[in-house]
Amino acid sequence: MSVDHATPASFYANQPDRGHYYEIALQIPKSGFDFFAGSGFLKPTTTLKKEEATDVHVILEKSGYKIVKGKKAFLNKDYNNQKVVWINDDPKNTASLKFAIDQDTEDMTLEDITKGAIKHLSQNNDKGFFLMVEGGKIDWSSHSNDGGTTLHEVIDFQKTIQLAYDFYKQNPKETLIVVTADHETGGLVIGNGSSKLNTAALAHQKVSQGTLSSLIGNLRNDKPNASWDEIKQLIADNTGLFTHLKVSKGDEESLFKAYEKSFVNHVNETTKTLYANDDKLAALSIKILNKIASLSWGSTNHSAGYVPVYAIGEGAELFNNKMDNTDIPKKIAQAAQLNF
Ligand SMILES: [Zn+2]
């Protein structure tokens, strides 16, 4: 996620709207926080009024923040006693980190960020610290109703929780970990013909729906009249459909119809959701895979479903029963014996 995105911004900035990206970033120095990390900034040189303004990176450096770019740059060096903003050095991915399912070893991950944050904040610090880490793209893949990608995002988030848990085990009397969500996305339910989740089916998914969409788009550019067998092979290689997972006659027909429209009649069809506009063939393939895995989606937006709150450590007993999400920061402050 970018450093100026809604969730991190709500912890350090105060603006009338989440879309005030430039103005949100300008509030970083005033926060006085020691450590920020994410993919980058969404509008580093453009104000709300669409005017060009001094680059946010320059303003941050001038106000005493060290901007560190790239995965290795931070992990290999000590920025002890310096205020840091750590961002991606990949210009294609400043808006958000790649989906975990699409990442390779060179890519900056949420786990890297968490490891770096805990190291930076705990060194030479006897006052304690507060750290917020967001697994924000669980929401994005859920907006696209992409089950396999969501599963990988949750596993990615789990790895960051493990790091926090390891820290807790070393400092059990002075650590509180709270894991929750600001909302559910997609109305996701296990049960789509069967009530048994088929994770083995989802394991065949090799790329996110967005990347599958790009692969189909690339094939369309290279071979505008590609055959049905070629398309089928591309879908099979990336989702396991046809080769490892049986596709019903009706589902194959709907895929074939989308293929005909796209590669024979040359009408591009896309499925638009909040953060993506994916090729119809990609969206349909993922939908079929989700059905085989027994996942059903009720929405492509946020739902009013209850979200869990997990807590462990000092003050964890404060987090019990049904509660309003606005109580969570109050309870954290109570556990930390802070008075506001
Ligand atoms: Zn969302």
pLDDT at residue 339, rounded to an integer: 60
Q: How far is the CA of 240 from the centre of ligand 1 (A)?
A: 28
Q: How far is the CA of 233 from the centre of ligand 1 (A)?
A: 32
Q: How far is the CA of 284 from the centre of ligand 1 (A)?
A: 21
Q: How far is the CA of 225 from the centre of ligand 1 (A)?
A: 36
Q: How far is the CA of 128 from the centre of ligand 1 (A)?
A: 31
Q: Which pairing describes strands 35-37 and 83-87: parallel, antiparallel, or unpaired?
A: parallel
Q: How far is the CA of 250 from the centre of ligand 1 (A)?
A: 31
Q: How far is the CA of 275 from the centre of ligand 1 (A)?
A: 8
Q: Which amino acid is at 76?
A: N
In DSSP notation, 180-214 reads --S-EES--EE-SSSSS--HHHHTT--S-HHHHHH
Q: What H or E segment, with its residue span, contains residue 37?
A: strand 35-37
pLDDT at residue 318, rounded to an integer: 96
Q: How far is the CA of 144 from the centre of ligand 1 (A)?
A: 10
Q: Residue 20 in contact with residue 58, Cβ under 8 Å? A: no
| CATH H-level, domain 1-127: superfamily | Alkaline Phosphatase, subunit A (3.40.720.10)
Q: How far is the CA of 62 from the centre of ligand 1 (A)?
A: 33
Q: How far is the CA of 138 from the centre of ligand 1 (A)?
A: 9
Q: How far is the CA of 248 from the centre of ligand 1 (A)?
A: 32
Q: How far is the CA of 64 from the centre of ligand 1 (A)?
A: 33
Q: How far is the CA of 103 from the centre of ligand 1 (A)?
A: 21
Domain ranges of the chain: 1-127, 135-340
Could you list the beta-strand ranges (E) of 168-314.
176-179, 184-185, 189-190, 270-273, 276-279, 295-296, 302-303, 310-313
Q: How far is the CA of 104 from the centre of ligand 1 (A)?
A: 25
Q: How far is the CA of 141 from the centre of ligand 1 (A)?
A: 9
pLDDT at residue 204, rounded to an integer: 98
Q: How far is the CA of 72 from the centre of ligand 1 (A)?
A: 30
Model pLDDT for residues 227-243, shown as the tens digit of each residue:
999 999 999 999 999 99
pLDDT tens track, the chain, 340 positions: 899 999 999 999 999 999 999 999 999 999 999 999 999 999 999 999 999 999 999 999 999 999 999 988 888 888 888 999 999 988 888 889 999 999 999 899 999 999 999 999 999 888 899 999 999 999 999 999 999 999 999 999 999 999 999 999 999 999 999 999 999 999 999 999 889 999 999 999 999 999 999 999 999 999 999 999 999 999 999 999 999 999 999 999 999 999 999 999 988 778 777 777 889 999 999 999 999 999 999 999 999 999 999 999 999 999 999 999 999 999 999 999 876 5
Quote the CA–CA distance of 177 and 175 in Å, as a whole number. Answer: 7
pLDDT at residue 340, rounded to an integer: 55
pLDDT at residue 72, rounded to an integer: 86
In DSSP notation, 80-117 reads TTSEEEEE-S-GGGSSSPPPGGG--TTS--HHHHHHHH
Q: How far is the CA of 183 from the centre of ligand 1 (A)?
A: 8
pLDDT at residue 113, rounded to an integer: 95
Q: How far is the CA of 135 from the centre of ligand 1 (A)?
A: 12
Enter the tokens of residue 291: 């059905």
Burial class (CB in 10 A: 0-12, 13-18, 19+), 182: middle
Q: How far is the CA of 19 from the centre of ligand 1 (A)?
A: 14
**pTM for the full model?**
0.94
Quote the CA–CA distance of 66 and 171 in Å, as a whole number. Answer: 29
Q: How far is the CA of 39 from the centre of ligand 1 (A)?
A: 17
Quote the CA–CA distance of 237 and 89 in Å, as a whole number. Answer: 30
pLDDT at residue 329, rounded to an integer: 94
